[in-house]
Amino acid sequence: MAREQLGICAEANLHGSYLLINVLDGQEAMLRQKLTRLPQIINRLADHFSEAMLSGVVAISSHFWDSLYPRQRPAGLSAFPEFRSEHFQVSHSMADLFIQVRSDRTDVNYIALQQIYQLISPNVEIVENLSGFRYLDGRQLTGFIDAPTNPRGIKRRKAALVDALNDPVFAGGSYLYFYRLQLDQKHWLQLSTEQQEAIMGYQKLDGKKCAADAEIRSSHLTAQHVVLAPNDAMLLEQNMPYASLHTQGALQLCFSAESDVFSRLWRSKLGLQQSGIYDGLLDFCRIDLAAAFFVPSITFMEAAARGEFTARSSHLLE
């Protein structure tokens, strides 16, 4: 049975640290070996600082995957969707790797990132070093509860982790879509609570869906659910606000067992799925960083480091 990276389905934390990384030329073979040690670093520190609830994820970008793991590729791994929309523009990143570390202690995140960087620094360069934090009782900087429809309990694993029946090689892995959303908080705060709730599609206090007559057609909630039937695959979101004196917004992470779920959702958000419906929250945002990755299982990374694949085979050796 594949061992997934535990950070995929971990519960929410107080602090998040994120690295976007480019790999230096010719370092792929060395990095394949070192990536298998990152979960070991996280697990060791998680045991030592057990109260911090430390977890981590390392993911490989769609454009770098074939350089790092040329013999196997997740079937649905592709670049972050580049749909053209009259409502919104997205700036894309070409980072090769993404590393996330989360815990309830900033110092533990720092220790983990320091040990990870010491291990891989000869092979990489850091493109972005980002930090997020829990805001109030798990809210966005809009003041609304973040991802109120996120799957809970066992549904988290079903939403995020590739099933062995669908893809035995990449079982326990997850498709990851990351973007940094900047919020125009000045104009957002000029709206009344009723106007904000109509744009979001759910109530500010408790996250319950607004009454139909209070929700506008192009609401955040409507755009997320217009493409999904009740039994469709879902996304597992792990979002965190970020802020400085001049900019603020959210670091958005969407994990999925199926690659096309996010693509359909993104089309809907941009108003390309159904006429007249788009994510109204985007009127107050811009996205200046976006990329698509795959989070391989620990089992896959260890087997690939040992060379236990034949070219483009579909069997993961035990």
Instruction: Compute the average pLDDT of residues 14-35.
Output: 97
Question: Which of 97-106, 118-127, 203-212 comes out lowest in average pLDDT?
Answer: 203-212
What percentage of residues in the chain have a pLDDT greater than 70?
90
Contact, 251 vs 240, CB < 8 A? Answer: yes
CA dihedral sign of residues 99, 85, 262, 16: positive
pLDDT tens for 103-160 read: 999 999 999 999 999 999 999 999 999 999 999 999 999 999 999 989 998 999 999 9
Is residue 280 predicted with pLDDT exceeding 60?
yes
Query: Rounded to an integer, what distance in angstroms lies between the CA atom of residue 114 and that of residue 41?
Result: 11
Query: What secondary structure does DSSP assign to 112-169, as a single string?
Result: HHHHHHHHHGGGEEEEEEEEEE--TTTB-TTSSBS-TT---THHHHHHHSPPTTT-ST
Q: What is the pLDDT of residue 92?
A: 82
CA distance 164 to 157: 12
Give residue 172's identity as a one-letter amino acid code: G
Q: For position 222, what pLDDT does the model report?
A: 79
Which has more confidence, 309 or 49?
Answer: 49
pLDDT tens readout for residues 40-92: 999 999 999 999 999 999 999 999 999 999 999 999 999 998 877 665 678 78
d(CA 113, CA 274): 43
CA–CA separation, 146 and 139 (whole Å): 5
